[in-house]
Amino acid sequence: MSKVVRSYCGLCHPRCGILLHYGGDKVVKVTGDPDHPINRGNICERGRLMVDHLYHPDRINYPLKRVGKKGEGKWERISWDQALDEVAEKLSALKDEYGAETLAFTHGTKRTYHWDCRRFFNIFGSPNTCGVNTICMCPSYATEFATYGGMIMGSEVPASKCVVMWGSNPSQSNPNLLYPMILHARKNGAKLIVIDPRKTNEAKKADLWLQIRPGTDLALMLGWIRTIIKEELYDKEFVENYTTGFEELAEEVEQYTPEKVSEITGIPPQLIEESVRMYAANSPAVIPFGLGLDKQGKNSTQCARGRAIIRAITGNLEIPGGEVFSLAGDIGKIRDWTYLEANEAMPEAQKKKQLGADQYPFFGFPGWEKNSAANAKLPEGYMSPPESWHSNLAHAREVMNAIITEKPYPVKAAITLANNPMVALPDTQKVFEALKALELYVVVEYYMTPSAAMADYVFPAASTVETSELWLTSGFAVACPQGVEPLYERRNSYDFYRGLAVRLGQEKYWPWETIEDVYDHCLEPIGLTFKQLTEQYGVFGQKEYQRYKKYGFGTPSGKVELKSSIFEELGADPIPKYKEP
């Protein structure tokens, strides 16, 4: 019998609403859900492939235990109970012998829940979770918290008068959410500036295209800031009352004349000036975040600072059509992912053992704690607190080194969730050596990746349509409903972690039996259950702009820190300085 069931695609961040078309017992087609508030019926090629992903013959469908040598490909099918019992017993023994820090973790980019992993690790007592974060949006996330106390994911693009696509190509990478918003803004007459080495689809349609030399974006940002200051294009009232470090910033950027920036970036000086004037003259203006900046190497963290500073001094923070990141209305009442992470459970002594935090303190516990302390001074529900999984990680290279060398201490076990560290982390050979050296390697996966092939135990992961999710942003919460009963013995990551946790004595911290129970708990403060939220798709909070006038920003000074006190305390440049790539 044919039927259509609502579900969601979690193959990338927007969590588009989809319709699963059944032919008999099987899903035969996926289409976009026209009533879904996020994608309004649009769906990309990846989303369309959900049916293939669901029924792919190479999917892992049962728990497997290694019976041959590591990587030999010989497996025995066992039950979930047996697999969890054995893994828990081995983890317990390793913890007794080497301490909780002997367990490490690697993850990918949020195709699973992530907070459940942090919850498990915090309660287990290991600070050594790491993943692809350092080459994704996470440096921007932590940096924007240090600058103004939150990450801007909710630029109000449709109402903006100028959109700057800086290292971003949303017609290809974000076709269902950001790209339609840009088209909408353009229809309303918004200017479009594209900064990209490639003549992208967006660049072809832009008012101005700045073909920048890769890796030199920070120099252009500093040049923009110089012109904004020199020509008094900044928001004087905002800068005077709500920022720190303006004088030092002005001094630092003085050297970045259009001619010098042109030499560095390859962009003609006139175009540099024309573009920044266009941006500054057309407020509200937005620079939506783009991974082209976040991933560009040694300037990436300071690029995130540069972008944040430009947004702030031009007065574009927290205004309609600008860069908005405070929590909207009821959204601030929902128990969020930081709440679920149970960061308070991590013992102080264990935090200090986080691998790599001595070299990269900003992106580990030291930086995260400073950002959290600044956020904690704000009224509850105004700004989201920093999530640990986004901004508090062990350094992946140092984790691999510790596995291989046993220095500064032995790391004997690891869990990998929906991630292929041999490909996703730097230095494949080193990761391979590390995976070989582990005494216990546990992988939760969809397919038998090269990394999974090195495991002692492999657990079958449920696809997003086989489970449910609550998706939170600063402006809205969307229910992502399960559309298919999990096939074979696939389960979601919550079931995996809870199953392991109760066997390791963490039961009181995991009172919710199912993922839907968790989300009922999260939604309780706004008087909804997950089922009710699903029926109405989601909740959109009522936006209140410029609350910083009452409450300030979530930084140590309570102002936008053009000169970052957190960076300074942790030994990084408090004002961005350009380095040749």
CA distance 488 to 60: 9
User: In this structure, which amino acid lies at residue 444?
Assistant: V
Q: Tokens 């974060």 belong to which residue?
A: 133
| DSSP label of 340 | H
Would you put residue 56 in left (φ > 0), alpha (ψ -120 to 50) or beta?
Answer: beta
Residue 46 or 198 having the CB closest to ligand SF4: 46
In the complex, least distance from residue 489 CB atom to ligand SF4, rounded to whole angstroms: 25
How does strand 476-480 pair with strand 191-195? unpaired
In the complex, least distance from residue 290 CB atom to ligand SF4, rounded to whole angstroms: 16
φ/ψ of residue 201, rounded to 5? -55, -45
Task: Determine the interface stretch with ligand SF4 among 5-13, 229-237, 476-484, 544-552 (rule: CB under 6 A).
Answer: 5-13
Which of 19, 20, 27, 43 is in the footprint of ligand SF4 by CB under 6 A?
43
Output the residue with the shortest Cβ distance to ligand SF4.
47
Q: Which residues pair with 218 in a beta bridge?
A: none
3-state secondary structure of 430: helix
Subset of residues 172 to 211 that bind ligand SF4, contact rule: CB under 6 A: 176
Contacts of 299 (CB under 8 A, 6+ apart): 215, 216, 217, 218, 578, 579, 581
In the complex, least distance from residue 36 CB atom to ligand SF4, rounded to whole angstroms: 10
Query: Contact at 8 Å (CB) between 280 and 156?
Result: no
Which x/- pattern over 546-575 shows residues binding ligand SF4 (rule: CB under 6 A)?
A: ------------------------------
How does strand 162-166 pair with strand 191-195? parallel
Position 46 contacts ligand SF4 (CB under 6 A): yes
Token duo for residue 155:
């630029």
Residue 12 or 138 having the CB closest to ligand SF4: 12
Residue 14 or 538 having the CB closest to ligand SF4: 14
Task: Determine the interface stretch with ligand SF4 among 40-48, 196-204, 307-315, 422-430 (rule: CB under 6 A).
Answer: 40-48
Residue 499 or 538 having the CB closest to ligand SF4: 538
Query: Is the bond into 408 cis (omega within 30 degrees of 0)?
Result: yes
CA distance 238 to 139: 26
Residue 126 or 176 having the CB closest to ligand SF4: 176
In the complex, least distance from residue 42 CB atom to ligand SF4, rounded to whole angstroms: 8
Task: Determine the interface stretch with ligand SF4 among 11-19, 105-113, 251-259, 334-342 (rule: CB under 6 A).
Answer: 11-19
In the complex, least distance from residue 29 CB atom to ligand SF4, rounded to whole angstroms: 14
Strands of 457-460's sheet, edge to edge? 75-77, 64-66, 457-460, 440-445, 413-417, 103-107, 129-131
CA distance 365 to 371: 10
In the complex, least distance from residue 468 CB atom to ligand SF4, rounded to whole angstroms: 15
- Produce one character per residue of 322-343: b if its CB has 16 or more CB atoms within 10 Å, e if not: bbbbbbbbbbbbbbbbbebbbb
For 397, other C-beta atoms within 10 Å of its C-beta total 19
Which of 19, 36, 47, 162 is in the footprint of ligand SF4 by CB under 6 A?
47
Total residues binding ligand SF4 (CB under 6 A) = 12
How does strand 75-77 pair with strand 103-107? unpaired
CA distance 474 to 540: 9
In the complex, least distance from residue 20 CB atom to ligand SF4, rounded to whole angstroms: 13
Task: Determine the interface stretch with ligand SF4 among 38-46, 95-103, 327-335, 421-429 (rule: CB under 6 A).
Answer: 38-46
In the complex, least distance from residue 110 CB atom to ligand SF4, rounded to whole angstroms: 11
Task: Determine the interface stretch with ligand SF4 among 10-18, 437-445, 451-459, 502-510 (rule: CB under 6 A).
Answer: 10-18
In the complex, least distance from residue 38 CB atom to ligand SF4, rounded to whole angstroms: 8
Residue 179 or 510 having the CB closest to ligand SF4: 179
Task: Determine the interface stretch with ligand SF4 among 7-15, 201-209, 312-320, 488-496 (rule: CB under 6 A).
Answer: 7-15
Residue 100 or 480 having the CB closest to ligand SF4: 480
In the complex, least distance from residue 11 CB atom to ligand SF4, rounded to whole angstroms: 4
Which of 44, 64, 210, 394 is in the footprint of ligand SF4 by CB under 6 A?
44
Residue 15 or 110 having the CB closest to ligand SF4: 15
How does strand 75-77 pair with strand 129-131? unpaired
In the complex, least distance from residue 142 CB atom to ligand SF4, rounded to whole angstroms: 24
In the complex, least distance from residue 45 CB atom to ligand SF4, rounded to whole angstroms: 8
Token duo for residue 312:
């702030």
Residue 409 or 447 having the CB closest to ligand SF4: 447
Q: Tokens 């030399």 belong to which residue?
A: 213
| DSSP label of 538 | E
3-state secondary structure of 38: coil
Residue-wise DSSP of 53-106: HHH-TTB--S-EEE-SSTTS--EEE--HHHHHHHHHHHHHHHHHHH-GGGEEEE
In the complex, least distance from residue 17 CB atom to ligand SF4, rounded to whole angstroms: 9
Residue 52 or 254 having the CB closest to ligand SF4: 52
Subset of residues 120 to 179 that bind ligand SF4, contact rule: CB under 6 A: 176
Residue 8 or 105 having the CB closest to ligand SF4: 8
Task: Determine the interface stretch with ligand SF4 among 13-21, 208-216, 444-452, 567-575 (rule: CB under 6 A).
Answer: 13-21
In the complex, least distance from residue 48 CB atom to ligand SF4, rounded to whole angstroms: 8
CA distances from 223 to 49, 288, 304, 401, 518 (A): 44, 19, 15, 40, 48
Which spans of this chain sit near ligand SF4 (rule: CB under 6 A)? 9, 11-12, 14-16, 39, 43-44, 46-47, 176
